[in-house]
């Protein structure tokens, strides 16, 4: 599926059985390859809402607009918390320009 403008993007669940609600969106990188992070919750049928989940989508610029090239999705709400903890810990890490850890 080609999207003419990323601002027009509406998230949908692939399996057709779940409802997805977007809780937040953040563009992590822009350019011919753009990465967008989504915070979502899901509901299958009449079951309670589940989440939050993190979805990372990478879009490629093509002549007609944008196409989804790859994605990563957490599968359990605890993974979002674990990822947040890891990022918080790593945010205090200083890297040398050649990538060698200086901590």
pLDDT reported for residue 2: 85
The answer to whether position 97 is within a domain reads no
Domain extent, residue 48, equals 2-75
Among 43, 39, 49, 48, residue whose Cα is nearest residue 80: 39
Name the domain count of the chain. Answer: 1
Would you put residue 78 in left (φ > 0), alpha (ψ -120 to 50) or beta?
alpha
- pLDDT at position 70 is 95
Residue 16 lies in a domain: yes
pTM: 0.80
The greatest distance separating any two alpha carbons of the chain, rounded to the nearest whole angstrom, comes to 52
82 in a structural domain: no
- Residue 41 has a pLDDT of 94
Selection from 10, 64, 1, 6 nearest residue 31 by Cα: 6
Q: pLDDT tens across 22-44, in order?
A: 999 999 999 999 999 999 999 98
- pLDDT confidence bin for 4, thresholds 50/70/90: confident
pLDDT band for position 16 (50/70/90)?
low
55 lies in some domain: yes
Structure tokens at 3: 């999207």
pLDDT of 102 higher than 60: no
CA dihedral 88, 90, 96, 101 (to 10 degrees): 150
**pLDDT band, residue 13 (cuts 50/70/90):** low
């Amino acid at each position: 599926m080609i999207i003419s403008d990323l601002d027009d993007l509406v998230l949908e669940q692939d399996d057709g059985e779940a409802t997805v609600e977007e809780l937040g969106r953040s563009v992590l990188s822009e350019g011919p390859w753009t990465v967008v992070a989504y915070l979502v919750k899901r509901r299958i049928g009449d079951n309670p809402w589940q989440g939050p989940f993190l979805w990372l989508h990478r879009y490629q610029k093509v002549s007609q607009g944008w196409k989804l090239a790859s994605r990563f999705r957490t599968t359990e709400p605890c993974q979002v918390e674990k990822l947040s903890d890891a990022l918080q810990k790593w945010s205090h890490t200083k890297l040398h320009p050649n990538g060698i850890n200086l901590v």
